[in-house]
Structures are given as C-alpha cells and as structure tokens.
Amino acid sequence: MSDSATLALTRRLIAKASVTPDDQGCQAILMERLQHLGFKVERLRFDDVDNFWALRGDSGPLLTFAGHTDVVPAGDLEHWHSPPFEPTVKDGYLYGRGAADMKGSLAAMITACEQFIADHPKHPGRIAFLITSDEEGPALNGTQKVVQWLEQRQQKIDWCIVGEPSSTQHMGDVIKNGRRGSLGCELRVKGVQGHVAYPHLAENPIHRTAPALAELARERWDEGNQYFPATSFQISNFNSGTGATNVIPGEARVVFNFRFSTEVSRRQLIERSEAILQRHDLNYEANWQLSGEPFLTDRGELIEAGVAAIKECVGIDTQLSTAGGTSDGRFIAPTGAQVVELGPVNATIHQVDECVKISDLDKLSKVYCQILVNLFIKPA
C-alpha cells in the first residue's frame, strides 16, 4: 500500500535532521508546496533562524497555521530502535525525531490546505502559514520576530492553529485553548565563607536561604479559575558549597520557576516573592526572566469550529485544556488573535523512539481541512 500524502510528506520532513535552529531544508519543502497552491511566500531570516510567512487571499478574516520545523536533539543514538532521522514505519506507527512534535502536524496542515483549495479554489477569507525553526530553542528570533514584523505591516491574525501535539490518549481528545505563564528566577544569596568549627566567624547562606524558600513553597499565590489551576512554584536547582566537608560556603545559588495563571501578574509574583526574601533579611541578587505571559482563548468561532471538526472527523468530544508548558502561541495571542493548539498524541515527544500513529496523521489532516470549511464555507 502506498503512503498517504500526509504520511509521505511527514517522512520527507523527518529525514531532515533539523535540530534547532538548523532548518536543514524543511521549510523549502513546505514553501514549494504552498507556492503551488497560490500562496505568496516571504522568507524571513533573523540572525541564525529561518522563518517564513505564506499568505493566500486578499481580503476577509485570516486563519494562520503556525508551527516549527526544528526538533530537539536525538540524544544517545544507541537507545533508538531505528535511526532518529530515518523515518521508520512499524506496527502502524511512524518513528523518527519530530514525528509528533511537530513535523506530522506540519504535513497535515499542508495536505489539509491542498484538499480544501481543491474543493474550494475560490474560497472566501485568507489562509496563512507562520513557520519558524527556533521554537525548541531560545525562541528569540522565530515566531516572536515574525509577529513583530507582521505588526509593523499592520497584518492582523484573526484565528491561529498551532500544531503542537495537544492530544493525550486519542487524536483530537484535547484542544489547548491557553497556556500558563512562565516566570523564572536565578537567585544568588551571599554569605561569608569560613571554617565549620568557627561558625561565629562566618555566615551560612544555606541556613539563611532555606527558611525563605520554605515560605515561598508554602505560599498560596492564587486559586486559579475555571480554565487554569492555581499558580505553581517549583525549585529546579540549588547549588552551594566547595565540596569540602569543613567549609561553610560563601554563597548559594537557586533557580526557581512560576507557572502562573491569569489570576496573578508577573509583577505581583515578583513583588510578593521579594517581600518574602527581604523578610528573611537575605543579602541577595535576583535575576527574573519571563518566558511568556499566560493566555486564554475563550469559546468563539475558532474553538467552535475545532470542536465540531473533531466530532465530525474523529467522532469524539474534545476537551479544552491549558495544561502543559509554553508554546509559540504566547507570542501570537497578545495580538488579539484567537489561538488554539491542536495536534497528535504527545506521549512520546522529546523521547527516544518518538512516534505518531499513522492513521492519526490522516485524521489530523481531515480535522484541519474541516476547520477551514467550518470557518470559511457557509452552509447553503
């Protein structure tokens, strides 16, 4: 049996070892397909990152497919049952780095548009693609820069589908209609180094820091809401000491992160955290880093179109969720666009032997195509 169009394209993309930020020619494959469909394609390279914007149509509401061609490193190749950049079909699954995150989604987006345009060559509205090779990396010169470029051109996205693997058990069982914000801090607490036998001549930063961290961990930052769980505080790193058993360290370094809801702002988190640190009389420096603000798309045209498409094409009722990490949706949502994430099952993403169910690739293409129909083609 020959490959479906979506499977064949996913294979071609997986065969490119496009580890962040090296696109390795994936975008050229996508751009060629889109140009054949009448899209006007513009390459956008910022620093060492390749991006492109492709647009079809002159007027009406704009639906944008957003995604990334870059993947995380494969890791130890000996642990893979088949080479990560040699797409391998086995027992109904396609194996390879990026199969689920998110080359399968990119392929499904392309084939969905090919089918939709074949059926509706003079469709109303506009369709666009916003593709980057920097999502898995720093995300500084990818979608964020393209969005800034679009704003300078006064180009407004109405609806956006990000192809992140949103599903959990079955393709289409979850649509992500928002994400929590991510705020990190690198905390440096200064003490006075000395001999453990003479603690009165030293100041132990671990002893001073631990109670403050305990209070931060106990703090109830908010109660969440119907879309978001309560804000989470987690310590990811704590480093101090020289390695010697008889030396009181001179400083402690802590890294922690907030995943926060729309019920609290980053400013509030910073102010409340530093009030706790100051209450414990710490001599500290705090370097705060915001990875993304929380965003939420409430029920509207895009969500309704997605829910209906999944029901029609897959036969299941989808759930809305804001769980998980950040995505490039955090750069698009602040422009006022309705943003959802919809893609294959995420069970193996970033893992050894990443894979996607082959039948899910075709289902995803059909869902994307039906969303286009639901949004642009009015019933007779």
Specify the DSSP class assigned to residue 231. P
- Distance, in Å, from the CA atom of 9 to the CA atom of 117, rounded to the nearest integer, reads 18
- Distance, in Å, from the CA atom of 124 to the CA atom of 372, rounded to the nearest integer, reads 10
- Distance, in Å, from the CA atom of 176 to the CA atom of 299, rounded to the nearest integer, reads 12
- Distance, in Å, from the CA atom of 265 to the CA atom of 260, rounded to the nearest integer, reads 8
Q: What is the CA radius of gyration of the chain?
A: 24
Beta-carbon count within 10 A of 93 CB: 16
Closest CA to 305 of 147, 165, 112: 112
Specify burial of residue 66 (Cβ count, 10 A radius: 0-12, 13-18, 19+): buried
Annotated catalytic residue, options 101, 114, 134, 135: 135
Q: What is the pLDDT along the chain (380 residues), one digit of tens a residue?
A: 678 999 999 999 999 999 999 999 999 999 999 999 999 999 999 999 999 999 999 999 999 999 999 999 999 999 999 999 999 999 999 999 999 999 999 999 999 999 999 999 999 999 999 999 999 998 999 999 999 999 999 999 999 999 999 999 999 999 999 999 999 999 999 999 999 999 999 999 999 999 999 999 999 999 999 889 999 999 999 999 999 999 999 999 999 999 999 999 999 999 999 999 999 999 999 999 998 899 999 889 999 999 999 999 999 999 999 988 888 999 999 999 999 999 999 999 999 999 999 999 999 999 999 999 999 997 64
- Distance, in Å, from the CA atom of 203 to the CA atom of 242, rounded to the nearest integer, reads 15
pLDDT of residue 379: 65
Cβ pair 269, 305 in contact under 8 A: no
Backbone angles phi, psi at 255, to 5 degrees: -120, 125
SS3 content of the chain, % helix, strand, coil (to 5): 35, 25, 40
- Distance, in Å, from the CA atom of 259 to the CA atom of 181, rounded to the nearest integer, reads 5
Phi-psi region of 32 (alpha: psi -120 to 50; beta: other; left: phi over 0): alpha
- 135 is annotated as an active-site residue: yes
- Distance, in Å, from the CA atom of 210 to the CA atom of 254, rounded to the nearest integer, reads 10
Instruction: Identify residue 310 by its one-letter amino acid code.
Output: I
Annotated catalytic residue, options 50, 70, 114, 164: 70
Cβ pair 19, 376 in contact under 8 A: no
Question: If you write DSSP's letter for every residue of 326-376 in order, what string do you get?
Answer: --THHHHGGGT-EEEE--SB-TTTTSTT-EEEHHHHHHHHHHHHHHHHHHH
pLDDT of residue 1: 63
